[in-house]
Structure 1
Amino acid sequence: MSNSDIGYHEDPQNSDGIIRARTTKQIRSWEMSRTIKALEVLNSELGRIEFPGIYILFEGRNKVYIGEAKSIYIRLKTHMSNPEDKIKNWSEALIINDGRPAMQSDFNDTVVRKALELYLIKLFKANKYTVVAQGEPQKLNAIQKFLVSTLREELNFFLLKKNVITKVLEEKGQEEVFGDELKKILEKSGRKIGEWGRYEAIIDDKKAFIRPGSKKPKGWQITFRGRKPGSFIDSLQKGEGYLLVSRNGVLLIPLTEVQKVILDKTAYEQDTIDIWIVFAEEKVTLSYKRNTIDVTKFRLIN
């Protein structure tokens, strides 16, 4: 199923403050403010029977809680009357299911719901939200894998249309890894972490430049800039420190390795140097112009 096979429709907000939206496939949604009135209207519309699904609570513009429930009505009622501290000031909820009651719904499978919950947690993190939920990996059988894969693709389309996200996750193994998760991976691999910032860190007492890269037709582009002492190009020229590629198992590449593809030393006189990371099935390569090396061994996760 491609996005071109899916249509989207959204109704204007009604007098109860509810916005209904749907795809032409399975997804149905209700967007509502944090009011008992809106919740009761929703419950009445659903037939006052058990409806499973997933939901997103919004607190401000960038903070979200993502959850799943066998009964959306009961779960949201709890969030209203006894909210968790980490999302106690939520104001809007986006409820998602397939519009069918529990006995007929694909969302009735707890494993499917939890797999979608974890996927949405990763998706919203990739879209720069602060996500105050953890989720947990699930073991899926063949049917569950098919359902989750189909629903994930449809959720991507739906959330893009809702303007809730601006990008989807990359192919498996090429997703960006963020903040605390990135630090945990480094720590588990036995690395010593000192100072930590969004773009630079001290790892094993050496400066590391954290870059996810920008996706281009020929691979992931990483640009070195600046020739001041300690800058990206300066450190590369001296071979001091690391390039930390924060995706696909996480690559911690010594800058001395990156030097191996830059055979033209006049490159260091430029304002920028572009290198390319390419992920294949079992291999990761690093290139500059026509020079390429295998950097698979620098993966922290295989």
Structure 2
Amino acid sequence: MEEKNIGYSEYPPNGEKIIRARTTAQIRSWEFPRSTKALEKFNQEIGSIEYPGIYILFESRNNTVYVGEAKNLYNRLKTHNLSPEEKIKNWEKVLIINDGRSATQSDFNDNAIRHTIEEYLIRLLKTNKYKVVAQGEKLFLNPLQKVISDSLIEELNFFLLKKNIITKLLEEKKQEEIMQDELKKILVKYDYTIDDLKSYEGLINGERVFIRPGSKKAKGWQVTFRDVFKKALEDENGSLLMPRGGILLIPLSEIKKCITDADAFSRNTIDIFIAFGDDSIKLRYKDNEIDVTSFQIIK
């Protein structure tokens, strides 16, 4: 979610060290240390009524977290405080996430939505190098539930980045195609000179570039070289620009190093695959593979 569409506010801790934060859209949060007084203060603030939502328990040892969901957050956290599970028994603080509404009106009152968000956060926190000691369960969503879940997840990505709880999003998000208007803004921001930029080809810093978002396949994003594009690869003339995630700008000379079979350029087409991983990006051709992580414009 772009910051221009949503804002974020965080308030100083109160006497019970409760830190409240919110977005200008739906998300509301309470963060506080493990304390009966803080939990009771939270319950008082919400009017001692049933509040559904998601919570994250943090234990600094081994960067451990537990992600949970509850129809009644106060009751669930009271149990965690008095009789914690062995795997997270030494938790030190909690982050509670809700939409600021009680059970009668909250989107978090929907069991399927809560479980979907819980399962997503488990994967997201694992990607961000937390030791997650919980297993989520993703339930079937009807079309309306999916729209609501997707909206909340998009907002949570923004919120957790602002809270400095995460530094990166899941791979699926990183692979989203960047449209040309946004691509131009990013290139300019990173001091690239755009001499010409069309849908599939352009000149950047005086160099020829071929713009290919690729097609999703099991091995990665497939890019096919044919005709003029294949000839440019053979001549090592220009670069491949893949407008996904961190935006890859790979010299064709580097790609050609991966294509080692003698008859490759006598064929009509050559297919390569770009595979995004958690910590690296690989370019694959048949059984060959090279690391192209360093060719990201946005590191």
Could you say which TM-score interval applies, normalised by the shorter chain? 0.5 to 0.7
The answer on whether the counterparts of 1:118 and 1:134 sit within 8 Å (CA) in structure 2 is yes
Which residue does the alignment assign to 1:49?
A: 49
Structure 2 Cα separation of the partners of residues 173 and 13 of structure 1: 34
Q: Is residue 57–residue 65 contact of structure 1 (8 Å, CA) maintained in 2?
A: yes
Q: Secondary structure at the match of 2:161?
A: helix
Give the structure-2-normalised TM-score.
Answer: 0.62
Matched, 1:151 2:149: no
**Cα distance change on mapping 1:63 and 1:287 into 2, 3 Å:** closer
Q: Unaligned stretches of 5+ in structure 2?
A: 177-243, 251-255, 263-271, 277-281, 289-299
Identity within the alignment, %: 57
1:99 aligns with: 100
Deviations 1:252-300 (Å, cap 9, x if unpaired)? Answer: xxxxxx9972359xxxxxxxxxxx74269xxxxx857xxx5599xxxxx
Are 1:218 and 1:278, in contact at CA under 8 Å, matched by a contact in 2? no
Q: Secondary structure at the match of 2:68?
A: strand
The whole-number CA distance in structure 1 between the counterparts of 2:11 and 2:87 is 31
Shift of 1:218: 3.4
The question of whether the paired residues in 1 share the 8 Å contact of 2:58 and 2:91 is answered with: yes
**Aligned match for 1:278, one of 257, 274, 279:** 274
SS at match of 1:171: helix
Partner residue in 1 for 2:11 = 11
Where structure 1 has 5 or more consecutive residues not aligned to the other structure, the ranges are 176-213, 221-257, 265-275, 281-285, 296-302
Q: Is the 8 A contact 1:51 1:72 kept in 2?
A: yes
Determine if contact 2:19/2:31 at 8 Å carries over to the other structure. Answer: yes
Taking structure 1 as reference, are residues 34 and 168 closer, same or farther at Cα in structure 2, changes over 3 Å only? Answer: same
* 1:103-182 matched pairs, under 5 angstroms: 103-171=104-172
Q: What is the CA distance between 1:86 and its match in structure 2?
A: 0.2
User: Does the CA contact (< 8 Å) of 2:174 and 2:245 recur in 1?
Assistant: no
In structure 2, relative to structure 1, the CA distance for the partners of 1:98 and 1:219 (3 Å cut) is: farther
- Structure 1 counterpart of 2:99, one-letter code: D
CA distance in 2, matches of 1:54, 1:79: 14
Task: Tell me the equivalent position of 1:283.
Answer: none
**Distance in structure 2 (CA, Å) of the matches to 1:41 and 1:74:** 13
* Distance in structure 1 (CA, Å) of the matches to 2:42 and 2:164: 23
Report if aligned partners of 1:8, 1:158 keep a CA contact under 8 Å in 2: yes
What residue is the counterpart of 2:75 in the other structure? Answer: 74
Alignment partner of 2:39: what SS? helix
Distance 1:263 1:26, change over 3 A: same
1:217 aligns with 2:247: yes
Structure 1 moving runs of 4+ over 4 Å: 172-175, 292-295
Q: Is the 8 A contact 1:3 1:154 kept in 2?
A: no
TM-score (norm 1): 0.61
